[in-house]
Chain A
Amino acid sequence: MQLSIGGMTERAAPRRRLGPLLVVAPLFAVLFFLIPYPIGILLLGSVSRVEPTRIGEALRHLDFSYYAEMYSSPALYQATLNSVIGCVGGALLAMLTGLFFAWVVARTDIKGKGAIEIIAIMPLFISPLIASMAWSILASDRAGILNIFFKDLGWDFRLNIYSFTGIWFVLGVYYAPYAYLFLTPALRRMDPVLEEASTISGASTWQTVRRVTFPLIIHPILSAALLVFVITLGLFAVPATLAVPVNLHFLTTYLFNLVTGNPPAYEKAATVSVLLIALTFLGVFLQRQIIGKRSFVTVTGKSTQPRLLKLRRWRPVVLALVLLYLCLTVVLPYLALVLVSVRRFMFFTSVASIFDANMLTTQHFQFVWSHAQAIRSIGNSLYMGAAAALAGSLLCFLTSYCIHRTELPGRKSLDYLTMIPIAVPGLVIGVAYLWAWISFPVPIYGTIWVLALAYVARFVPDGVRAAGVNLLQVHKELEESSRIHGGSFWQTLWRVMVPLARPGLLSSMLLLFILSVRELGSSIFLYTTESIVLSVQIYNQWESGELGATAVLSLVQTLLLVGVVVLARKYVMRAEAA
């Protein structure tokens, strides 16, 4: 025994120094080229007269005139204002809608909570592009199906989705799930004793809500609103479909025009990107501050079930609101898409004409089927979605493992590195990649792989967070127990960590897949005719006015995602049951 331990001692010392480096260094290298490098190039490009990929030369020719020029331009000022107005309004509405659902699910005695919870998060699976296109079919001021319906009924009332109200509405209902997911735990965790103490002191229900409940959840509420603000600020699809038609520009559409103009104004686009990053960062920063200040009195850990409000005669009202939400987010938009996909022309004169059998056609499906690029885009989306999901979740798992489960030097910096993309909208990542990889020695630009890389970069924060939650659920002693009983680092990872983390690993792959297939902001700058992906194809189809094909492709994308989710859940569940 003595001998063998002695032998080990000799080998152990040097190995300890090298091991961590072998794990951390590649992670750093990969993350560096995915995130700080392209963004650094973008920043450099905004202050240099020279092509920023020639870093040394660019640094010698610094020039801040782009900022001077852009930041005094009224157009940029207007776009910033529009973005803020649109996103603040959308965030507030989303917060209220999310709060409503969180309250219904966590604090009322309503029946069928399982179904309501699903309804509350369903819009997460619908891409904002599809949602806003469907709503423009439903509620465009002149030809919107709903407006024709109102006309038939003899009402004077008309909807106009091409307006701030329209954008607030779309953002408000489709981003409510983010607020809902954020607020539900806060409402659930609240110790019922705090409210009971108020009631027992003689306060009415309303007084209790106002004086106790509300102050206790004001921080989560603000935080949820900021979260939605930050997400929607970087959104391209919604303003592009709903604001641009009436010449309203948001920061993202403004940025898009700069890059796609002739000639492309990359330097100016870079300064706008910096502004977007700054605003997003401000939002993220404020949100973190608020979470940090959140009082933890509500979190007692022992509280069982919060007091449930008896709805009694209000139950039908609440249920009606839930169903209305389902109609607005899912039923109506998809009915509209289905309708458009099987009709010869988009324009209706009356409600009756909607059901005119003579107008039915399969021509749009045939068109898509024979459209080589459309078919290719479907394949590319699946391919890149899968690649990003596999590579991304592996990267996120390893990174998260280093951050949470090791004492490796540099793990804190890894953590910060993976958080950068939170403050970088997808569109900006697209511009940065466009620029940074064009002259990169390894030919990535122009290939389909640049898309997968951009997806991984964009969704690293989501992936790392999901993996972290997953890892933290695996008790550290389960690992230590393997080490002490003779399992090496790799044996432990393979025999203990991977099997235990597998369900979480699969669901984070699924998450990355869905996000990647839906992705538009980065893809729209990085695709070529060969590497075009489905969401870009849909957007282009829409831009060129081919509504029928747009609808068909939107349905295809939705069915693909739903199909993959269903299959994956089935597979994961079966694996769990075994």
Chain B
Amino acid sequence: MELVVEGLRKRFGENILAVDGVSFRVAPGEFLVLLGPSGCGKTTTLRCVAGFEEPEGGRILINGVPVTDPGRGVLVPPERRNLGMVFQSYAIWPHMTVFENVAYGLAVKRRPREEIRQKVREKLALVGLQGMDDRPATNLSGGQMQRVALARSLTTEPGILLLDEPLSNLDAKLRSTLRFELKEIQRKTGVTALYVTHDQAEAVVLGDRIAVMNHGRIMQLADPSAIYNCPVNRFVAEFTGATNFLRGRLDRLEGGEAVVRLAGGLEVRCAAPAAAAPGGEVELSLRPENLFVEPAGGPDGGRPNLWPAQVAKVDFLGTHSLYQVKVGEETLTVVEMGSWCRHRAGASVRLHAPSERVSLLQEA
């Protein structure tokens, strides 16, 4: 099913605007991730979709039908929205068995016993918990509880699945395996998914698209690669990973590329966004893993953004190394993968920043 959120606004108390005009559309079968720091309004947005919170403004439509529309006094209760939800605390009922937990949605709808049995079996198999039916729900590990919660959210065959940081209470290893399983299950069932998390690695793996949120607003809504490689502003760039920022003036446009002149005179070429106009102050984001340190004196092959530089500091981190590289007046952080670091502190080198991987932030 399709989910549309339009201009959602939700206030807590007098002054706290938790959600401030959030709009997005999740296509049928799509997996959308709301990503942001705590307090950015992502969970509140999800809870508005669930029907637990009543917003002050905006609309929420499921398959074109308004389920929340404060303007018209519409607020369909959660139980009639045909949703599934996986909670952060799992919310597995401790007084029921695994079977009873998973069967709940069908039991309250008074479905025939045989149908319930068959569907619960099916869903338990889907999450890899065959034969656990009669276990008391309290007798499960964290990962198993989360699987039960997932099975439960799917038994009613909901149109939309809501997930509220479902993996955040698990240990790191389990989290990364469950991430892939979750994605696989979503693909298999074809359910539309709205997923809330503060973990960018999770967002990148799971999301068909990611909405990065801050201060109750969506900063950027795009596919994972675009979020990572073309962040629109400083917040998105920083929140999705480590990055170097450079400030300068947009000097000119040349062959589809923009040339930015830094305060120290250094020129940086980068892909030009459509709206770019020469003359303005701009900011660039250069990911440490997209910068390359090369020995001094090799052929330059006519590559742009190849600057003479000096290694100021080296931190060896086992699987990779971190360099602090001085270019003109700027010091940039560079990541070099591999367990051998190839350059020493003090060495004179060249730094290469491929122009297609430098992003010009559209908003300061």
Contact = CB atoms under 8 A, between A and B. Distances in A.
Interface of A: 1-2, 5-6, 8-9, 12-13, 16, 475, 477-478, 480-489, 491, 495-496, 499-500
Given A5-B76, A9-B76, A485 B153 contact: yes
6 residue pairs, one from A and one from B, having the closest CB atoms: A477-B91, A485-B105, A481-B91, A483-B78, A477-B87, A484-B85
Contacts of B159: 1
Contacts of A495: 104, 108
Most chain B CB within 10 A, of A482, A484, A500, is at A484
A250 to B, nearest CB: 47
16 contacts: A1-B159, A2-B63, A5-B76, A9-B74, A16-B73, A478-B91, A481-B85, A481-B93, A482-B104, A484-B84, A484-B153, A485-B79, A485-B156, A486-B104, A486-B108, A486-B109
Interface in B191-212: none
Interface in B109-144: 109
B230 interface: no
Given A12-B76, A480-B52, A484-B162, A1 B82 contact: yes
A481 B93 CA distance: 9
A7 to B, nearest CB: 10
Contact of A485 (B62, B75, B104): B104
Contacts of B62: 5
Most chain A CB within 10 A, of B89, B108, B153, is at B108
B1 interface: yes
Contacts of A487: 79, 104-105, 108
B65 A480 contact: no
Nearest to B104: A485
A5 B80 contact: yes
Contact of B152 (A2, A9, A480, A485): A485
Most chain B CB within 10 A, of A5, A8, A477, A483, is at A5
Contacts of A489: 77
Contact of B93 (A6, A12, A500): A500
A487 B155 CA distance: 14
Contact of B75 (A13, A482, A483, A488): A13
B89 to A, nearest CB: 5
A9 B72 CA distance: 11
Contacts of B155: 485
Prevailing SS type, chain A contact patch: helix
A9 B67 contact: yes
B87 A9 contact: no
Most chain A CB within 10 A, of B83, B87, B153, is at B87
Most chain A CB within 10 A, of B51, B66, B91, B104, is at B91
A491 B107 CA distance: 11
A480 B78 contact: yes
Contacts of A491: 79, 108
B173 interface: no
A484 B76 contact: no
Given A482-B108, A483-B78, A484-B85, 11 more contacts: A2-B65, A5-B65, A5-B80, A12-B77, A12-B80, A477-B87, A477-B88, A478-B91, A480-B85, A485-B152, A500-B93
Given A1-B1, A9-B67, A475-B91, A16 B75 contact: yes
Contacts of B63: 1-2, 5
A485 B84 contact: yes
B94 interface: yes
A484 B78 contact: yes
A29 to B, nearest CB: 26
A5 B108 contact: no
A493 to B, nearest CB: 12
Interface in B84-102: 84-85, 87-89, 91, 93-95
B64 to A, nearest CB: 7
B116 to A, nearest CB: 12
B211 to A, nearest CB: 21
A358 to B, nearest CB: 61
Contacts of A8: 76, 80
B50 interface: yes
Contacts of B352: none
A5 B67 contact: yes
Contacts of B152: 481, 485
Contacts of A5: 62-63, 65, 67, 76, 80-82
A487 B65 CA distance: 21
Contacts of A482: 93, 104, 108
B118 to A, nearest CB: 18
A120 to B, nearest CB: 31
A444 B155 CA distance: 53
B75 A12 contact: yes
A484 B80 contact: no
Given A1-B1, A1-B159, A9-B66, A483 B87 contact: no
Given A5-B81, A5-B82, A9-B66, A485 B108 contact: yes
Contacts of B108: 482, 485-488, 491, 495
Nearest to B90: A477
Given A485-B156, A487-B104, A488-B108, A480 B66 contact: no
A2 B84 CA distance: 17
Contacts of A475: 89, 91
B79 A486 contact: yes
Most chain B CB within 10 A, of A475, A481, A488, A489, is at A481
B85 A500 contact: no
A1 B104 CA distance: 21
B146 to A, nearest CB: 13
Contacts of A480: 50, 52, 78, 85, 87, 91
A496 B85 contact: no
A292 B52 CA distance: 31
B134 to A, nearest CB: 14
Given A1-B82, A5-B76, A477-B91, A486 B105 contact: yes
A500 B101 CA distance: 14
A483 B93 contact: no
Nearest to B94: A500
B67 A486 contact: no
Contacts of B73: 13, 16
Contacts of A481: 85, 87, 91, 93, 149, 152
A467 B80 CA distance: 29
B60 to A, nearest CB: 11
A550 B315 CA distance: 86
Nearest to A496: B93
Nearest to B1: A1
Contacts of A9: 65-67, 74, 76
B79 A484 contact: yes
Nearest to A485: B105
